[in-house]
Amino acid sequence: MRRNKVFATGVAALALGLSLTACGTTEDGGNGGSDADCDVKLAFFGPETGDAAGLGKPIIQGTQLAIDQYNEDADCKVEFVKYDSQGSPDEAPALATEAAGDESLIGVVGPAFSGESAAAGDTFAEAGLPTITPSATNPTLADNGWDTFHRALGNDATQGPAAAKYIKDTVKAGKVFVIDDASEYGAGLAGIVEKDLADAVVGTDTIQQKQTDFSATVTKVTDAKPDAVFFGGYYAEATILVGQLRDGGFDGTFVVADGVKDPAFLDAKDAAEGTIITCPCIPDTEPAVAEFAADYEAEFGEAPGTYAAEAYDAATIFLDGIDEGVDNRADMLEFVNNYDDEGITKQLKFDEKGEPADVHVYAYTVKGGAIVPEGEIK
């Protein structure tokens, strides 16, 4: 009996320990203009550290570049602050409350992910703090009636059909197996692809995040013998999954979406070759972003990562507002809602739900150990 008690206490203590590790956030002060600032701040909201830091970095740097360029010849320097949510929906609400409490903060680039956007959206809407996400693509985010919500890229309702179209028309797959990771983002996207492909879907499975052994899923795939596998999820699982699928004998096309478009996916080495990645993010080879890409590389010593250009566009909208003398949230919100100008990635204009009026989805492929653009999916 005593033994059982020890177990119970152990499990309880373990659970407590687990929940404790979720704390410990860092909030970095910006390093924007320190001289002659006029107490106006823009913020990044998303993962700066943590598991998804790799996806947050280009967004931070794209925003940073836009603000630095603006500050160079502005009398009124804009300060850049970062709210590091680690990409976690659990962290987001408290951080959003903190952001809402800072009255000099009048625009947020982010939240970066769909899960944290859903968790923090109410707080931003109540505070009237306008947000423009350069990367959260779950379609339902726009249906919450948050007038502060804006999205600088196409959502999964546009990315999903584009992925399905690519699988049908370009990969010419007659049989497709659809896998998702049960996340807000992955399950939503996989659902759309599944619906669009209809009869072509020969099977589905749902994995768990942080899972490492996918043998049951692999057996399901090899049993169904599909021409292509679509995976809705992030790169951490995709990297291991594609390796095990290839080892299991799957030799069709592996198709994934923007959550996998990260250099870490290339860790899968040969198994990653030929993978198709769809993304509403503009390739840096497009002429429109060439100048941005050159500036970015000069500043940070690396080519712009996924969503750097979208983040740059999002920050530019806010900066244009500040340039016109906007210095409070209500005016900024109105300014963003009525914005209509050419950005580097697309024509920047939002409909009444905050969705972009102009949407492009691009295909990328893994070739020779690099992610290379294949062109726009039209």
Partner 1 sequence: MNFEFLFNNLPELTITGLAFGAIYALVALGYTMVYGVLQLINFAHSEVFMYGTFAMLWTVMALNGAEADGVKLIAILIAALFLAMLMSAAIALILERVAYRPLIKRDAPRLIALISAIGASFVLAELMGLRDKVAEWLGLDDNLDDYVSGARINNSMAGVLEKPRFDVAGVSVSSIDLIVIVAAVGMMVLLDQFVRRSRLGKGIRATAQDPETASLMGVNPTRTIQVTFLIGGIMAGIAAFLYMLKIETTRFDVGFLLGVKAFTAAVLGGIGNLRGALLGGLILGVAENWGSALFGTEWRDVIAFVLLVLILLVRPTGLLGESLGKARA
Separation CA 345–CA 348 (nearest Å)? 8
Instruction: Classify residue 365 as exposed, middle or buried by CB count within 10 Å of its CB (0-12, 13-18, 19+).
Output: middle
Point out which residues bind partner 1 (CB under 8 A): 3-4, 6-7, 9-10, 13-14, 17, 21, 49-51, 53-54, 182, 205-208, 210-220, 222-223, 236, 239-240, 243, 247-249, 264, 267-271
**Residue 210 or 378 with smaller CB distance to partner 1:** 210
**Residue 174 or 369 with smaller CB distance to partner 1:** 369
Residue 18 main-chain phi, psi, to 5 deg = -60, -50
Least Å from the CB of residue 262 to partner 1: 9
Least Å from the CB of residue 354 to partner 1: 31
Question: Which amino acid does the sequence have at 324?
Answer: E
**Residue 234 or 318 with smaller CB distance to partner 1:** 234
Least Å from the CB of residue 126 to partner 1: 32
Least Å from the CB of residue 51 to partner 1: 6
**Residue 144 or 204 with smaller CB distance to partner 1:** 204
**Residue 267 or 302 with smaller CB distance to partner 1:** 267
Least Å from the CB of residue 213 to partner 1: 5
Q: Which residues of 135-145 are buried (b: 16+ CB within 10 A; e: fewer)?
A: bbbbbebbeee
Instruction: Classify residue 134 as exposed, middle or buried by CB count within 10 Å of its CB (0-12, 13-18, 19+).
Output: buried
Q: Under a CB-based contact definition with an 8 Å cutoff, are residues 338 and 348 in contact?
A: no
List Cα–Cα distances, 345 to 280, 307, 341, 358, in angstroms.
10, 10, 11, 10
Q: Read out DSSP for 133-190? A: ESS---GGGGGG--TTEEESS--HHHHHHHHHHIIIIIS--SSEEEEE-SSHHHHHHH
**Residue 128 or 243 with smaller CB distance to partner 1:** 243
DSSP code of residue 78: E
Least Å from the CB of residue 224 to partner 1: 9
Least Å from the CB of residue 189 to partner 1: 16
Least Å from the CB of residue 269 to partner 1: 3
**Residue 8 or 290 with smaller CB distance to partner 1:** 8
Q: Who contacts 55 (Cβ-Cβ below 8 Å, separation ≥6)? A: 47, 87, 112, 113, 135, 259, 262, 306, 307
**Residue 172 or 367 with smaller CB distance to partner 1:** 367
Q: Could you give the 3-state DSSP secondary structure of residue 75?
A: coil
Please report, for the chain, how many H helices and E strands are present, in that order. 11, 15
Q: Which helix (H) or strand (E) holds 297?
A: helix 290-300
